[in-house]
């Protein structure tokens, strides 16, 4: 098989944390005096914390100084971390653990490619850290998705070329990042939002090592 590794986004692909990001951003928006809808939230998926804040402020028509931005982003993160620390282990998304296990059995390498600076904390909470041969998260990259840096670093850490990797993503910016990196990409979630992906699935429960042969 040509595919030697699967590179996973975290939030919204392996675990249902997208809703907690949304709730924390919504709380911040409300504090700042404007509303923030789930549709607005699509623009924040896959995007770094500070860039997300800029988009949020643009939606609300607000401008803050750099010091104020840092302050409110920290506040949002405290609320978010509070949610994930209470998150039950079974919030791992359907099929995720089974697919990781199947990949490991088949000798397919596994990497994480996430924008989140909380990734390690979440992997530990779900007790799935041990599945990953490489972990590239928000603490290891400079350029946010749709820049391909996070996935290219993942492939590099595994010693593989882009053509040998398939990326799993729930965010439009993430799908674009994978394509920009020259990788195949599976869109997990709404096929209309993720129309640029090479394959679309609703959840990892639909995935198998056999289905990776599609990319050969
Ligand atoms: C991504 C999420 O995985 O991580 C984004 O899709 C989030 O919504 C980004 O903003 C950064 O996360 P964190 O945990 O570092 O604030
Ligand atoms: Mg995501």
Q: Does position 216 have pLDDT exceeding 90, yes or no?
A: no
Provide DSSP, 100-126. Answer: HHHHHHHT-EEEEE---TTHHHHHHHH
Q: What is the mean pLDDT of residues 33-45?
A: 93
Q: How far is CA 114 from the centre of its chain?
A: 5
Active-site residue flag, 54: no
Cα–Cα distance, 113 to 135 (Å, whole number) = 7
Can you give the pTM of this predicted structure?
Answer: 0.93
9 carries an active-site annotation: yes
Whole-angstrom distance, CA of residue 15 vs CA of residue 89 = 9
The helix/strand/coil state of 81 is: helix
CA-nearest of 8, 1, 14, 46 to 154 is 8
Is 5-16+90-215's fold the same as 18-85's?
A: no
Identify the pLDDT of residue 15. 96
Domain ranges of the chain: 5-16+90-215, 18-85
**Closest residue (by CA) to atom 8 of ligand 1?**
45
Q: Which fold has domain 18-85?
A: DNA polymerase; domain 1 (1.10.150)
Looking at residue 34, the DSSP 8-state letter turns out to be -
Indicate the fold that domain 5-16+90-215 takes in CATH.
Rossmann fold (3.40.50)
Which residue ranges have their beta carbon within 6 Å of ligand 1? 10-11, 21, 44-49, 52, 77, 114-118, 138, 171
Range 13-48 burial, b when 16+ CB lie within 10 A, else e: bbbebbebbbebbbebbeeeeeebeeebbbbbbbbb
- Per-residue confidence (pLDDT) for residue 42, from 0 to 100: 87
Say how far apart CA 23 and CA 57 lie, in whole Å: 16
Q: With the C-alpha atoms ordered 87, 88, 89, 94, is the resulting torsion angle positive or negative? A: negative
Residue 129 main-chain phi, psi, to 5 deg: -55, -40
**pLDDT tens track for 104-126:** 999 999 999 999 999 999 999 99
Average pLDDT, the chain: 96
Q: Contact 34/59 with Cβ under 8 angstroms?
A: yes
Longest dimension (CA), the chain: 53
What is the 105 CA–ligand 1 centroid distance (Å)? 30
Average pLDDT over residues 63-91: 96
pLDDT at residue 90 in the model: 87
Distance CA 9, CA 174 (A): 8
């Amino acid at each position: 098989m040509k595919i030697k590794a699967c590179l996973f986004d975290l939030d919204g692909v392996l675990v249902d944390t997208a809703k907690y990001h949304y709730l924390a951003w919504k709380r911040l928006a409300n504090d700042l005096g404007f509303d923030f809808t789930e549709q607005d939230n699509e623009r924040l998926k896959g995007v770094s914390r500070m860039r997300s804040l800029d988009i949020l402020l643009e939606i609300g028509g607000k401008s803050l100084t750099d010091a104020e931005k840092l302050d409110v982003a920290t506040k949002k993160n405290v609320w978010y971390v509070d949610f994930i620390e209470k998150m039950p282990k079974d919030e791992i998304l359907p099929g995720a653990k089974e697919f990781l296990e199947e990949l490991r059995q088949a000798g397919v390498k596994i990497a994480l490619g996430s924008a989140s600076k909380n990734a390690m904390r979440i992997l530990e909470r779900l007790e799935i850290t041990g599945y990953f041969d490489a972990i590239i998260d928000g603490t290891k990259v400079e350029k946010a998705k749709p820049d391909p840096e996070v996935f290219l670093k993942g492939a590099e850490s595994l010693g593989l070329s882009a053509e040998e990797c398939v990326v799993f993503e729930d965010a439009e910016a993430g799908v674009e990042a994978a394509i920009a990196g020259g990788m195949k990409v599976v869109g997990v979630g709404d096929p209309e939002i993720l129309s640029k992906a090479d394959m679309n699935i609703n959840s990892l429960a639909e995935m198998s090592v056999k289905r990776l042969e599609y990319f050969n």
